[in-house]
């Protein structure tokens, strides 16, 4: 197949690029490098099956030749980016999704939208299943990302219904692993870099808020199964192992062998108190379950961070 991955030089996009190239497909990686890094895909430079295009998908997209799959992963996704890059996040969720769906229509390609558990906002149900409509503050700091993805889901389903585009929507829960940015702003890279440096590890709020954490290879497998399925409606992909933020910080301090102490700071605006996927649909429709335990995934991620800093 010939596959376009937007945001292909980002954390998740680059792992998908690896997977499709390993399967023998041709991959076009499109990224404007706002938060992506060429280092994430540089191993493929010189591979005739790989092409990198530095481009902003909010502009008109032209790709010569056929496309079988389009996977739309272009967007800053870290809370650290929400205030700094808010307008660009909204534009890539709206204009970027519109442009990539238009390309899918022109090419007759199967389309996958990278959506997010953030569509559930600060949820009032636990765990969160795909039929929950969410509790989102549209004018808060996080609203730029939450609403961009909710709008993108609506547009994807509209193209599915009105133009008969074969679409998929994956709602990605907290994912971690090699190639995360050290300045990502999310809990795991923050905790690892602070602990490795022997600094205080910063936990926001009282540390009782929870997240589920899924290793990136499990996510890639779930996305691959979703692309091969016939499921057009959103599917949660995440690991239903729940950590409090304090417990996650303690675990990372232990695994890094650090003497860091935990310090607590004010909880950011609209920060979700709980986040846990109901993966019943993924199990039933895709036969997918996560296989990487947090203990293994966290150790592998820490080793990668150590190699980056060395």
> Does residue 105 sit in helix, strand or coil?
helix
What is the C-alpha to C-alpha distance for residues 45 and 120, in angstroms, rounded to an integer?
38
Kindly report, residue by residue over 208-244, the tens digit of the pLDDT.
999 999 999 999 999 999 999 999 999 999 999 999 9
**Residue 252 predicted with pLDDT over 80:** yes
Q: What are phi and psi of 66, to 5 degrees?
A: -75, 160
- pLDDT-derived band at 270 (thresholds 50, 70, 90) equals confident
Q: Is 132 a catalytic residue?
A: no
Closest by CA to 129, choosing from 236, 288, 216, is: 236
Catalytic residue among 69, 120, 145, 176: 145
Q: What is the pLDDT of residue 267?
A: 86
Q: What is the pLDDT of residue 95?
A: 98
Q: What is the pLDDT of residue 153?
A: 98
**Residue 17 predicted with pLDDT over 70:** yes
Q: What is the pLDDT of residue 310?
A: 65
Kindly report, residue by residue over 103-120, the tens digit of the pLDDT.
999 999 999 999 999 999
Average pLDDT over residues 189-193: 96
Count the alpha carbons within 13 Å of 233 in the hemisphere toward its beta carbon: 7
Q: Please, what is the average pLDDT of the chain?
A: 96
Q: Which domains does the chain have, with CATH numbers?
A: 2-176+215-240+276-291 (3.40.50.720)
**Residue 185 predicted with pLDDT over 90:** no
**Residue 151 predicted with pLDDT over 90:** yes
Q: Which of 7-11, 15-19, 273-277 has the lowest mean pLDDT?
A: 273-277
Residues 74, 153, 157, CA angle at the centre, nearest 5°? 125
Q: What are phi and psi of 139, to 5 degrees?
A: -110, 5
Kindly write down the DSSP assignment for every residue of 194-225, as one continuous string.
Answer: HHHTTPPEEEETTS--EEE-EEHHHHHHHHHH
The separation between the first and the last C-alpha atoms of the chain, rounded to the nearest angstrom, is 38
With a pLDDT cut of 90, the percent of the chain lying above it is 94
């Amino acid at each position: 197949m010939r596959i376009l991955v937007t945001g292909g030089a980002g954390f998740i996009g680059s792992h998908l690029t690896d997977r499709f190239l390993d399967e023998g497909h041709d991959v076009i990686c499109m990224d404007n490098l706002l938060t992506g890094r060429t280092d994430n895909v540089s191993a493929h430079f010189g591979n005739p099956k790989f092409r990198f295009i530095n481009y902003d998908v909010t502009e008109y997209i032209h790709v010569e030749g056929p496309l079988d799959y389009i996977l739309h992963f272009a967007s800053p996704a870290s809370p650290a980016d929400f205030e700094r890059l808010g307008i660009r996040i909204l534009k890539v969720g709206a204009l970027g999704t519109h442009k990539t769906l238009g390309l899918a229509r022109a090419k007759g390609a199967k389309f996958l939208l990278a959506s997010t558990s953030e569509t559930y906002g600060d949820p009032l149900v636990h765990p969160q299943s795909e039929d929950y409509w969410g509790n989102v503050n549209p004018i808060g700091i996080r609203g730029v990302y939450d609403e961009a993805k909710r709008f993108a889901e609506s547009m994807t389903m509209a193209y599915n219904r009105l133009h008969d585009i074969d679409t998929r929507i994956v709602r990605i829960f907290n994912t971690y692993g090699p190639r995360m940015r050290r300045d990502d702003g999310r809990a795991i890279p923050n905790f690892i870099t602070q602990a490795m440096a022997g600094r205080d590890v910063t936990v926001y709020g009282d540390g009782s808020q929870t997240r589920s954490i899924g290793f990136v290879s499990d996510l890639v497998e779930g996305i691959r199964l979703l692309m091969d399925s016939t499921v057009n409606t959103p599917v949660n992909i995440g690991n239903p192992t729940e950590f409090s933020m304090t417990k996650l910080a303690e675990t990372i301090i232990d695994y890094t062998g650090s003497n860091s102490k935990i310090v607590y700071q004010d909880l950011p605006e609209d920060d979700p108190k709980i986040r846990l996927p109901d993966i019943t649909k993924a199990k039933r429709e895709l036969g997918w379950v996560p296989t990487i335990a947090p203990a293994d995934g966290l150790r592998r991620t820490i080793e990668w961070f150590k190699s980056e800093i060395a």
